[in-house]
Structure 1
């Protein structure tokens, strides 16, 4: 009796699905094109569709989720649709027991400290998912014997890190490692207290600015010394390791900020406008850690201007694995390796007597743009105008890193789905070509799975950024790793194809306003601004926020009128007082729309498909400003154009390269090309700022002292 071979196609559907689930996402999408039977199986399998949708949204699954695949798929699609339309599934008001100037928002937990006698006496932690049910669960931890100056937390590890000042120690600070749930020493930490920043007699003061971040089993802390901002100390601890468990970078010229590009690379922003990439691996306390890899230039400033401050931020941090609060279903979370970074630049004119002339900008970039530093450095070393470039920089001798291919960071070889990164053959940065593969739309049709532009360098023109990479530069950066200065990567080689620029605002807190591949901020309702200019006393009465807020907004009951154009020169605004209202010359809290920008290539592709047939993607255009009388007025309008919008419910797709008029702050106007989708909410809210995570938006109302008065939560 003859036997017939059983083909894969004829296996039971359950077995076929089990096999397909083992494939990479790219192979799975290709299988959809093989035959109708495989296409039907893939389209009707909740597990396979959930895998595909996660890849499109640049998410990763929560392996401990108990939800069925059909429930996970429905949750993902509903939430992504809510983000796309900015139509939240629910909204509720969260009342705070107290306000404070230090706060943290991570993993569905919002913590805010309460100051007493110039120290943080206690911190209250609110479980945000519980507030949707009306319970609003919270926990308060007191610190009677610890002088807390800052804190951070990771709910996924039940970890709370307190930064405390030392008064009788050889180190300036102690990092206290505690359980977030109980305030007890964390059992996974061999040492519950980590000393940081060795004290130097006569040079250290207790009013240093401190920034801290947790990323998995490591903690990064930056101490920016107040003494003329000329010194800085950056240190990384592996908090689960026994001593010695840290490496550090000390700088005599200062460090403005830091951000982790991956789980083994970090980025330092220098005051002279240079972004430095470092790596660390193996034993954290090895004398070769961290290793200096490359420097990236920012656009060249005009001679009269200087960088005042540079801020870096991105969320979620590497190592984040999601957190399910009370009553929250966590089926997936944003990929820590596929996220957008924000860089805020504050530029000023030091020659002016008041010193308050600040021009804010913000640009967004994907970390892969900086992790491909070997390619950038090799391309820069072969540029035709290299000799002229070196002479203009004052460089007599320079060393170009030429590392082996097997030393490329692992994050540059694989993306978060485990797929090889696109080819890195040189191409024009403005060609508009993406790396692509097939994927399946909801209806089973085939399209392109767009990815970010492959970071590449062409033969750029000359850059006039004044950066000294003579041996004195390496003396300023006293890191124990590579000390040989490398030729910096010019802005023209990496910036225009891999970034998107906007004029900034002194009120935006980008550290909490970027999450995954999205950013959120607030823009003023122009009708509200016009009402204020007309002296309308009922300005705030129509806002939904005020109707639900039982606290009276009494701090804005008096003030002077703005100028007749409704704008105030940003030069007159001290940074410490920065908010949108002050920059616009208003004395009340204006209603604002919520604006979300999505840099996910798939979101851009879908938005383009949904455009009407006669529509086209738009450049970064804004409403024309009122007729202005003088160059000063035109300067004012230029820096508030991004803060004001005519209406809500607006959406646009921006795919073309745009050139921003920088008002002569930089040597040339800045071009950028990173595609995005912008959505503005239909409703307005009487709030000061917005924050976000993967499934909610927090709208914060603050008083004159910048303390939180209340928070509106929009659940997506």
Structure 2
């Protein structure tokens, strides 16, 4: 919304010329009173929540608005300079099943029916790291966890032919979770072949999603795909949604957009050129008989191009409570999704990432109208299709290669974490890409909050340009220094770019890079294989250990 600040100074002075002194005194007094109220900690904290894309935590008498504001500013300053306050390392067996969510790294020893947890420290509330383990009553095929709900979801590894058992257990002791009405649910996955191809599990609030993956297998004259996605309310045991592959339309990946919305990637097989891979958003919160769906089209491909792989990334946000308390946490309504796609044609191949806010998908459900016309729970008759041209202007396109990262905890809030190769083989720098619209203006705020970080910002206009997937974009670089000789991080701001066709002509229609973002890259490099993050920590995974950097 335009404000008086948007007007030219000359025009404002002309307005003042028509005001009598009494009116000017009244206006000045009102402005001073407004500024005085705006400067109160309660109002400043409210503004800071919006500015930093966080939500307020539960009430706590020991944490008034002034203390929360101070802690939030310091927390954001540490992220801006990637200045971790604590660091610790623990052993890790890459042969184990492992997960990272809500500040806890868990790994499962499938031969001992045991899950070990490493909880990261919290600089914000000044808590130390902790470790514990639980024994579970079944062999572990896969698992997922949410420490804020004391919940671990475990998939049974025993051969059950076409059925799979899912257990809802306590992270504290491995027993059936006391809030789960049915701590064990069993599901028929006979449509998935082979039965033990693998699965993906995610938790968001009361809902658990499991994608049972299948392989491609030959049939008469063609290849077919098989996979099943199932959503449960783990507290009531109610099945909220079941979605299967249909013909050559494969359910490839998914991610939560909210506790009641899921984004699903549909990939078509190259033998069906008339079909188009797409993204589908399902609103399932009202149960099987009341599911709404929106389909978002991806850009059309050139005649010789195909989509070979699709992965959706949007980390769920745990909600603090009196058992797992935080003064503030990532705003659930302001999160980045990254859709990583592998394309190829006759002469080339490349990774393409579509980066978009979850709200872009969710705003197509304004009234949450009910789909009362369905007959089969998997028949969604009333489908609203959003063409690529209608949502592309809210999307960033990058060509980041995904081979040196891991498809877990790569996104969190408005940030994406990456690894950049350093000069020495096997060593990488950490890069945070922040899509917060206020990120660029916060660079100057990153210094001076912590007295030991009285750095110097050196700004220079680069002679060259930065290369993005769709063309050249101007960039601004800032080196944050602790003294004149040692830089700790490098900043680079990537602006929006116009519509272009890529040089290798994978696409048959224009693509865009509309979302600007700020890159923050460490000068220091690390020996690391994978990188992950959450609200307060960065995790560096090597062959046999995990280093946790707590900010």
**Could you state the TM-score of these two structures normalised by the residue count of structure 1?**
0.60
Q: Distance in 2 between matches of 1:604 and 1:655?
A: 10
Distance change >3 Å, CA 188–CA 39, structure 1 → 2: same
Q: Distance in 2 between matches of 1:485 and 1:131?
A: 46
Distance change >3 Å, CA 51–CA 168, structure 1 → 2: same
Consecutive unaligned residues of structure 2, counting only runs of 5 or more, are 1-26, 218-223, 269-276, 447-455, 472-478, 480-486
Q: Distance in 2 between matches of 1:592 and 1:514?
A: 18
Measured against aligned partners, the alpha-carbon deviations of 1:68-109 in whole angstroms (never above 9, x if no partner) come to 433222211111111112222x24231226443421112211
Distance change >3 Å, CA 38–CA 148, structure 1 → 2: same
User: What residue in structure 1 maps to residue 120 of structure 2?
Assistant: 128
Distance change >3 Å, CA 478–CA 222, structure 1 → 2: farther
Structure holding more helix per residue: 1
Measured against aligned partners, the alpha-carbon deviations of 1:439-488 in whole angstroms (never above 9, x if no partner) come to xxxxxxxxxxxxxxxxxxxxxxxxxxxxxxxxxxxx9x9753523565x4
Q: How many residues are paired up?
A: 479
Q: Secondary structure at the match of 1:40?
A: helix
Q: Distance in 2 between matches of 1:156 and 1:134?
A: 15
Q: CA deviation at 1:665?
A: 2.8
Q: Distance in 1 between matches of 2:178 and 2:239?
A: 17
Q: CA deviation at 1:323?
A: 7.3
2:466 is equivalent to residue 621 of structure 1:
yes
2:39 is equivalent to residue 50 of structure 1:
no
Residues 211 and 222 of structure 1 are in contact (CA less than 8 Å); yes or no, is this contact kept in structure 2? Answer: yes
Distance change >3 Å, CA 371–CA 112, structure 1 → 2: same
Q: Distance in 2 between matches of 1:137 and 1:249?
A: 39
Distance change >3 Å, CA 190–CA 269, structure 1 → 2: same
Q: CA deviation at 1:514?
A: 0.4
User: What residue in structure 1 maps to residue 21 of structure 2?
Assistant: none
Q: CA deviation at 1:157?
A: 0.8
Measured against aligned partners, the alpha-carbon deviations of 1:611-652 in whole angstroms (never above 9, x if no partner) come to 9999779997149xxxxxxxxxxx9xx9xxxxxxx9973212
User: What residue in structure 2 maps to residue 74 of structure 1?
Assistant: 70
Q: Distance in 1 between matches of 2:183 and 2:170?
A: 10
Q: Distance in 1 between matches of 2:83 and 2:521?
A: 10
User: What residue in structure 2 maps to residue 398 of structure 1?
Assistant: none
Q: Secondary structure at the match of 2:416?
A: strand
User: What residue in structure 2 maps to residue 480 of structure 1?
Assistant: 378
User: What residue in structure 1 maps to residue 392 of structure 2?
Assistant: 495
2:499 is equivalent to residue 663 of structure 1:
no
One of 195, 214, 219 as aligned partner of 1:206: 195
Distance change >3 Å, CA 619–CA 372, structure 1 → 2: farther
Q: Distance in 2 between matches of 1:94 and 1:32?
A: 57
2:102 is equivalent to residue 107 of structure 1:
yes
**Superposed, which structure 2 residues align to 1:197-596 within 5 Å?**
197-199=188-190, 204-228=193-217, 230-242=225-237, 244-252=238-246, 253-272=249-268, 273-282=277-286, 284=287, 286=288, 288-291=289-292, 293-317=293-317, 320-322=318-320, 330-349=326-345, 359-373=350-364, 406-407=367-368, 479-483=377-381, 488-525=385-422, 528=423, 539=424, 588-589=425-426, 591-596=427-432
Q: Secondary structure at the match of 1:72?
A: helix
Residues 62 and 330 of structure 1 are in contact (CA less than 8 Å); yes or no, is this contact kept in structure 2? Answer: yes
Q: Distance in 2 between matches of 1:290 and 1:114?
A: 38
User: What residue in structure 1 maps to residue 184 of structure 2?
Assistant: 193
Q: Distance in 1 between matches of 2:57 and 2:128?
A: 26
Residues 518 and 598 of structure 1 are in contact (CA less than 8 Å); yes or no, is this contact kept in structure 2? Answer: yes
Q: Distance in 2 between matches of 1:607 and 1:500?
A: 24
Q: CA deviation at 1:164?
A: 1.6
Residues 108 and 324 of structure 1 are in contact (CA less than 8 Å); yes or no, is this contact kept in structure 2? Answer: no
Q: Distance in 1 between matches of 2:118 and 2:174?
A: 15
Q: CA deviation at 1:191?
A: 0.8
User: What residue in structure 1 maps to residue 513 of structure 2?
Assistant: 672
Q: Distance in 1 between matches of 2:28 and 2:418?
A: 39
User: What residue in structure 1 maps to residue 545 of structure 2?
Assistant: 710
User: What residue in structure 2 maps to residue 151 of structure 1?
Assistant: 143
Q: Secondary structure at the match of 2:179?
A: coil
Q: Secondary structure at the match of 2:70?
A: helix
Q: Distance in 2 between matches of 1:81 and 1:142?
A: 40
Structure holding more strand per residue: 2
Residues 336 and 413 of structure 2 are in contact (CA less than 8 Å); yes or no, is this contact kept in structure 1? Answer: yes
Residues 268 and 276 of structure 1 are in contact (CA less than 8 Å); yes or no, is this contact kept in structure 2? Answer: yes
Distance change >3 Å, CA 34–CA 166, structure 1 → 2: farther
Distance change >3 Å, CA 104–CA 32, structure 1 → 2: farther
Q: CA deviation at 1:668?
A: 5.3
Consecutive unaligned residues of structure 1, counting only runs of 5 or more, are 1-30, 375-404, 410-474, 529-538, 540-587, 624-634, 639-645, 703-708
Q: Secondary structure at the match of 2:182?
A: coil
Q: CA deviation at 1:714?
A: 1.8
Residues 530 and 542 of structure 2 are in contact (CA less than 8 Å); yes or no, is this contact kept in structure 1? Answer: yes
Residues 339 and 366 of structure 1 are in contact (CA less than 8 Å); yes or no, is this contact kept in structure 2? Answer: yes
Residues 209 and 226 of structure 1 are in contact (CA less than 8 Å); yes or no, is this contact kept in structure 2? Answer: no
Q: Distance in 1 between matches of 2:228 and 2:256?
A: 16
User: What residue in structure 2 maps to residue 598 of structure 1?
Assistant: 434
Residues 404 and 419 of structure 2 are in contact (CA less than 8 Å); yes or no, is this contact kept in structure 1? Answer: no
Residues 100 and 408 of structure 2 are in contact (CA less than 8 Å); yes or no, is this contact kept in structure 1? Answer: no
Distance change >3 Å, CA 497–CA 137, structure 1 → 2: closer
Q: Secondary structure at the match of 1:522?
A: strand
Measured against aligned partners, the alpha-carbon deviations of 1:523-545 in whole angstroms (never above 9, x if no partner) come to 012xx1xxxxxxxxxx5xxxxxx
Distance change >3 Å, CA 226–CA 651, structure 1 → 2: same
Q: Secondary structure at the match of 1:601?
A: coil
Residues 662 and 669 of structure 1 are in contact (CA less than 8 Å); yes or no, is this contact kept in structure 2? Answer: no
Q: CA deviation at 1:209?
A: 2.4
Q: CA deviation at 1:121?
A: 3.4
